[in-house]
Amino acid sequence: MPDNSMADDRPLYERDPDAWHAYLAEGNAKQARKRVGADVLIRNEQGQVLLVNPRYKPNWDLPGGMAEANETPHEAAAREIREELGVQLRVGKLLVVDWVAPHGPWDDSLMFVFDGGVLSSNETATLRLTDDELLAYHLSSSDEAKSLLRPYVWHRLTHAVAAAVDGRCRYLVNGESMPGDG
């Protein structure tokens, strides 16, 4: 019978760091990847919300966009606002995380909505289109926003507004709150 008393019982990461790294790299290459989007809830003093009309899709949307490789969601949100609307905005607290199911050619994604605060009339006057991705921007009433947005984006927006008021971040699935998540 072999003597195993001399066997090295240390975990792989201690015995062979290179093999452990290769193991992790293989797992990383096989695991699912998610697209990450980061939008910003921006309001004016009258309670209207800022919407944008992207050139590349049929409906209006919240300002923001997709995160780049190794970019945090809040950094992506600030970059998109700066690139598309020419304003340096302090992106505030997280309001919503929304998992969006695969649709059309797209895999599933995670959409984050951050609080962009309330802009004064002087601040809203500095907004300008600085990127050819957008056709227009508009401060919208709640009723108007509902008519301009896709239903799941409208639901995401209403949850973001509620979260900005009560300070409680929402987790959504396709724009809807989870059962029992008041």
Q: How far is 174 from 47, CA to CA, in rounded Å?
A: 25
Q: How far is 182 from 177, CA to CA, in rounded Å?
A: 8
Q: Pairing between strand 94-100 and 170-173?
A: parallel
Q: How far is 8 from 12, CA to CA, in rounded Å?
A: 10
Q: Pairing between strand 170-173 and 176-177?
A: antiparallel
Per the CB < 8 A criterion, the answer to whether 136 and 127 are in contact is no
Instruction: List, in sequence order, the alpha helices (H) in the chain.
Output: 12-15, 17-30, 73-85, 121-124, 142-148, 151-166
pLDDT at 1: 56
Q: How far is 58 from 86, CA to CA, in rounded Å?
A: 23
Local confidence band at 182 (pLDDT 50, 70, 90 cut-offs): low
Can you give the residue ranges of every domain in the chain? Answer: 33-177
Local confidence band at 31 (pLDDT 50, 70, 90 cut-offs): confident
3-state secondary structure of 173: strand
Per the CB < 8 A criterion, the answer to whether 86 and 126 are in contact is yes
Helix (H) or strand (E) holding 37: strand 35-44
Q: Pairing between strand 134-140 and 49-54?
A: antiparallel
Matching CATH number, 33-177, of 1.10.287.110, 3.90.79.10, 1.10.357.10, 3.40.50.261: 3.90.79.10
- 19 or 75: which leads in pLDDT: 75
Average pLDDT over residues 142-155: 96
Local confidence band at 26 (pLDDT 50, 70, 90 cut-offs): confident
- 162 or 18: which leads in pLDDT: 162
**Of 12-21, 31-40, 103-112, where does mean pLDDT reach its minimum?**
12-21
Per the CB < 8 A criterion, the answer to whether 121 and 44 are in contact is yes
- 158 or 11: which leads in pLDDT: 158
